[in-house]
Structure 1
């Protein structure tokens, strides 16, 4: 199995740890069960590969790259929140601490249309996404938007660097589809 692109590989790999009811990439019992029936194929083979990619990325990427990918793409709430907390210290900005925390959190958990309790996507209460609630220091709106933009650019750059590193790794393993023009 190959992935369409690096983002789909990362998303599937990070989701693999939340697929089983026991949590984690517990593919070994499933693989052993399937092996007794013959060759590993279908969704078990895909799951096994996703778990392998998870482990490979976690081991090969730098902690900063891994943290950025988990904060942006993980569906495992505990790991995502841990990565978000670690990212707070990597963002350099003149903004106050509370503003930085809100900006990083809303970047990692973006507002989703129609998510007022009707979707399974993790969202924050609507007030979190209102930039005027991020501090009461009396700064002009243009300053707050400039700070938020700078923080998001820094975080997006970290994710792009991490995706580039993951792309190189997965290309070397032959796991990304190559489009012949």
Structure 2
């Protein structure tokens, strides 16, 4: 189980910095595996996932504090229009809920981390506020894995079910978070006919 926890830590840490690794699926799969092989280690899966997420988030935050907006744009962590005064105000007053929601919404975490760094949220405040958000995130994805572990007798089936469930949740949330397409333009009205012609 130690090897699984080390792989989980590495996957979540890398995925937090380079959002190409499905970190939620990694936590769910590890929880499903732990459920079948050594159930008392499930809390360690949550803590390991949370530690990887927290460390990775802190790395992104520190890079943006150090490199500023220019680095964030170069790494494609920030696009035009994503950093707003509203985000800064919300982070100052409700940091934990904002960070938690940003972790659960697809493509929501990086802009919030960049916003936290560039709008002057203090490092200590960020580190403290992000800890419960990471634990809640890891708990939510571990619960998906535990559900898969409880439903399937074979560990591999539970892991596959957990990964597929996370994919479906991610797809549903991304569809919900995507802005609605603007309505198509109305066709031009025909020019009025002059009866005198």
Instruction: Tell me the TM-score normalised to structure 2 length.
Output: 0.28
Q: Larger % of helix: which?
A: 2
Q: Choose 1 or 2 for highest CA Rg.
A: 2
Instruction: Tell me the TM-score normalised to structure 1 length.
Output: 0.29
